[in-house]
Structure 1
Amino acid sequence: MDVFLVLLLLSAFCVPTASFPNIYYFVNENMTWDEANAYCIKEYLGLAQITYPENNTALVNTPAGVYTGKAWIGLHIDVGWAWLDGRPPTYYSWSPGQPLNTGPGYCVFTNYRGWYSVKCTEMLGFICFDGSDYIVNNTYVTWNEAKISCKNKNSTLAQILDVETFDKVRRVVDKEKEIWIGLSFSPVWFWSETQQISTFMNWKTGQPNNEFHCAAILVGDGTWTTEPCIKQYPFFCYAVYKSKKTVVSMNIQTDVDLENPDNQAALMQQLQATLAKQGVTDFKVTWTKQPVQKSRKKLDDACLNV
């Protein structure tokens, strides 16, 4: 019977959720947003980034003593062209010479040929998207009224993210018709360290108030508010969990020839199934055949017979 030494190299992230491997630290010192951000960059990675609901839960569950008030997170504001969901455009179809005007208070309409920027208070038709169809409404309204009207119909003011979508819109728009789309020059919230546009939001009712440019979390309930960046609050920093590796060795006594590739594959399947039940999926296996050793008693007997 052969004895094989099997070495398992196990590696994994020590994370509470697979969505974003962050760990949070509460710093109970009052600082402005900029001061808190500088502190977190120096001591950790930066102010807390929250990109999934699980992250928000993890942050709220981070020990903060008896504190339940506001604390800075790494969300702050900039302005630019943005779709209704906060994403900056990666595709544009401006008509020649456009956009003539940029800045807060300007929105975008389209006709058959391309896009134009005008004051959001202009009165135009609009186009909604209900998840499957683009629906033109010929009622003349402001951009904000168009947004609300689409929402009341369980749809959204159309977002044109690529040329294929614009082709679909063109098919339902009269050639000379001017209609609002869901693009405006508006505040964009993004994370300080990663510079990612925030797609997950957990604003308190009535927020965000885009008059203020920095965001805080209410530790008591996990909702977010906008605050003047010069206010002083405690804050949350974040870091990334490190991966760890563990080597596990075991001796296997078997009559099966593990040098045979078919037998190796069968053993691998058994190990994978066993480890998967324990939540381990990332591992490497090596094995070596151990020399057969005589027992200590047999060695002692051999010495006595010399």
Structure 2
Amino acid sequence: MDGFMMMMMAALFFGLDLSSCSQCPARHYHYVNLQMNWTDAQQYCRDKYTDLATFESMDDISRLKVDFSYSWAWIGLWDDPKSWKTSMGNDTNSWRWSTTGETSKTGFQMWDSGQPDYKGAKETCVAMETAGVWFDTDCSQTRDFICYNVTKQNKKNYVYISQGVTWKSAQEYCRKHYTDLAMIENEEENAEANRTKPSGTTPWIGLYRVPWTWSDKSKSSFTNWNPEDKRKYGGDNRHCVMADTSHRWVNYYCSSKKPFICHQVSRMFSSTFKITTETDADLTDPAIYSQVLQQMNDLLTRQGLTDFKLRWKSPPKKTEKKD
């Protein structure tokens, strides 16, 4: 007798109004022992499974089987330069303005030659060079900065602040005393912001980004970097991520050929049924239906079912009709 029929019999016996849900783990992982570059591995995973592996927690990491005997294997994390190096982009790792937390609406950019370059995997904030061009740099550096306000004519008014602080501190100051760190959406505004600063200064503006994004567009912020990796997680054209035998991550050249890990998202489904029976037991008593659910859970487990969740659903109370 299959597990569903056993559940039905149990429901009849106990007199349940029960909603059952079978929910498999969000992802199953598959190690593929083929040598491919990151892009080809991505396509293979999308063709055969769901995508290159995404991880949202150490629980996901623990799902990797012990027989994954690779030295290195690609996973789905990368920092696509097309999202931030050649354009303003609209991806999760693209450049954003502090005042909106969103990517550029106009696409305007004024990068210096060779910028941005994400040198040392630390340069995720932007400052303005002497000639008004932009460059990415380490957010922990201390610099002067430019704030802005919006006038009644909906025009940005830029204010230079001569205080050497980190990008984050500059943001906090501007938000307290003005609108925010300078937001620049066209050439005229860039020229205006540049005119506010003294010659030779390189102040912060409001552009920043959060590097790394998952191939399947997951919003997961979980990381498991190898703290001993000397490359410091990015820069120098190492824009794709691979895992080692201990499941720690390092970034590497996307063109390198490695085995890889795919994931497959299991379908979620639910089954709801209603059984009516007579009983003296008070089925609205939490102690009683908790005991019933536990016995149901044990019964289904013995039938070999796993990764399910049972939920008690009480019927609506009937209201008496008034004469």
TM (norm. structure 1) is: 0.56
Q: 1:88 to 1:273 in 2, by over 3 A?
A: farther
Higher mean C-alpha displacement, 6-15 vs 164-173: 164-173
| 1:188 partner SS | coil
Separation in 2, partners of 1:270, 1:97 = 61
Amino acid at match of 1:180: W
| 1:54 partner SS | helix
The answer as to whether partners of 2:79 and 2:239 remain within 8 angstroms in 1 is yes
Does residue 22 (structure 1) correspond to residue 47 (structure 2)? The answer is no
Counterpart position of 1:216:
242
Counterpart position of 1:118:
134
> Aligned-pair distance for 1:215?
1.2
> Aligned-pair distance for 1:234?
1.2
| 1:34 partner SS | helix
Q: Which runs of no fewer than 5 residues in structure 2 stay unpaired?
A: 1-12, 118-122, 147-160, 182-195, 298-307, 317-323
Separation in 2, partners of 1:77, 1:38 = 17
Query: Between Structure 1 and Structure 2, which shows a larger proportion of strand residues?
Result: 1
Q: 1:93 to 1:251 in 2, by over 3 A?
A: closer
Separation in 2, partners of 1:159, 1:57 = 41
Question: Among residues 42, 47, 50, which one is paired with 1:42 in the alignment?
Answer: 47
Q: 1:117 to 1:172 in 2, by over 3 A?
A: same
| 2:211 partner SS | strand
Question: Among residues 150, 157, 163, which one is paired with 2:168 in the alignment?
Answer: 157
Amino acid at match of 2:168: L
TM alignment of 1:1-306, pairs within 5 A: 5-6=15-16, 8-15=18-25, 21-58=26-63, 61-65=64-68, 67-79=69-81, 80=84, 88-89=95-96, 91=100, 99-101=109-111, 103-104=115-116, 108-109=126-127, 118-120=134-136, 124-125=143-144, 138-139=163-164, 157-158=168-169, 166-168=174-176, 170=178, 179-180=203-204, 183-184=207-208, 188-194=211-217, 196=218, 199-204=221-226, 205-206=229-230, 207-210=232-235, 211-218=237-244, 220-245=245-270, 253-255=278-280, 266=284, 270-271=288-289, 274-275=292-293, 280=309, 282-284=311-313
> Aligned-pair distance for 1:230?
2.2
> Aligned-pair distance for 1:32?
1.8
Amino acid at match of 2:250: T
> Aligned-pair distance for 1:7?
5.2
Amino acid at match of 2:36: M
- Tell me the alpha carbon deviations over residues 214-273 of structure 1, each in whole angstroms, 9 at most, x when there is no partner: 21111x2221112222222111111113224457888855257xxxxxx77x25784257
Separation in 1, partners of 2:127, 2:57 = 33
The answer as to whether partners of 1:189 and 1:197 remain within 8 angstroms in 2 is no
TM (norm. structure 2) is: 0.54
Higher mean C-alpha displacement, 71-80 vs 5-14: 5-14
Q: Identical aligned pairs, as a percentage?
A: 23
Matched positions, count: 233
Alpha-carbon RMSD: 4.8
Amino acid at match of 2:80: D
Asked which structure has the greater CA Rg, the reply is: 1
Q: Which runs of no fewer than 5 residues in structure 1 stay unpaired?
A: 16-20, 111-115, 128-135, 140-145, 151-155, 257-262, 288-306
Amino acid at match of 1:215: V
> Aligned-pair distance for 1:93?
11
Separation in 1, partners of 2:70, 2:14 = 57
